[in-house]
Structure 1
Amino acid sequence: MSVQLNHTIVAARDKKAAAAFLADVLGLQVGAPFGPFVPVHTGNGVTLYFLDSDAEEIASEHYAFLVSEEEFDGIFERIRQAGISYYADPAHQEPGRINRNDGGRGVYFDDPNGHNLEVITRPYGSGG
C-alpha cells in the first residue's frame, strides 16, 4: 500500500457548527458522530474529524480542496450567497478576487474558527 492521508483532526469551538459550515460550503455531508468527533468525508477518502477545543486560541490551520470546475462554480456561488469574505491569496491581500494559478481557479476563505480554507481546480505545479 502506498502512503495516503486518511484523516486529520480539526479543532473547533463548536464541532457540529464547524463541520456543518465546511459541508455546506463544499456540498458534502456531515457524517454520524464518532466518539468525540464529527466527521466530514471527502471524495478521495480523507476525513476531517472536527473536535471541540477549549483552548484560549485555536491555531489556524490550512486545508486545501481540489475540485472540478463544475464543483468550483457551486462552491464559489455558495461562498458568495453566504456573504463569506474570499481572497485570491493565502495571506488575504487580494480580497474579493479568485486566482487563476496553473490555468485553473482558486479561492481562499476562513471558517468560523479561523482556519484558512482553499478550493482549487488544478494542483499547484500542474502547468496551464
Structure 2
Amino acid sequence: MPAAFNHTIIASLDGAASAQFYTVLLDAAPAPSWGPFTNISLAAGVMLQFAAPPVDIQPQHYAFLVDDAHFVRALGWLVDHDVPYWADPRMTRPGETKTEHGGRGVYFRDPAGHFLELTTRPYF
C-alpha cells in the first residue's frame, strides 16, 4: 500500500481558537480530542491536531486544495473577518488572488502565525 497522509500536529498557543479557524475555512468537522490536542477532521480521514509546543512556535506552511465554491466561501470569510491575504507567499500582492497555475489561490496567516494557502488547482 502506498503511503497516505494521516495527521499532523500544528503548534498553537490556543488550540481551540486555531481549530475553530481551520474548521470554518476548511469546512472541517470536530474530532474527538485528548490530552493536549484539539482535533479536527478533514476529507479522507486526515486529522489536524492543535497543541501548545514546548518551544517557541516556528511558522510553518500548510496548503489546502479546495474546489471553486469552497474557495469563494473561504475568501469571503477572510474578507468579512479582516484577515489579510496575498496572491504570493512573499506577501507582495496584498488583497489579490493568484492565478498563475490555472486556478485561484490565496496565502494568509492563521491565529498562531502559520502561513496557509488555499488553492483550487494542484501544482502537478
Q: TM-score, normalised by structure 1?
A: 0.90
What does residue 94 of structure 1 align with?
Answer: 93
- Tell me the equivalent position of 2:73: 74
What is the Cα deviation at residue 11 of structure 1?
0.5
Q: What amino acid is aligned across from residue 41 of structure 1 in structure 2?
A: S
Q: Residues of 1 paired with 2:24 and 2:39: CA distance?
A: 13
Map of 2:14 onto structure 1? 14
Residue range with higher mean Cα deviation, 26-35 or 58-67:
26-35
Q: Name stretches of at least 5 consecutive residues in structure 2 with no aligned partner.
A: none
Instruction: Give aligned pairs, total.
Output: 124
Identity %: 40
Once the two structures are superposed, residues 45-68 of structure 1 have per-residue CA deviations (whole angstroms, 9 ceiling, x without a partner) of 22111112253x310011100011
- The secondary structure found in structure 2 opposite 1:107 is strand
Q: Which residue of 1 aligns with 2:42?
A: 42
What CA deviation, in whole Å up to 9, does each residue of 1:41-94 have, x standing for no partner? Answer: 111322111112253x31001110001111111111111111100000112111
TM-score, L = length of structure 2: 0.93
- Asked if structure 2 preserves the Cα contact closer than 8 Å seen for 1:104 and 1:120, the reply is yes
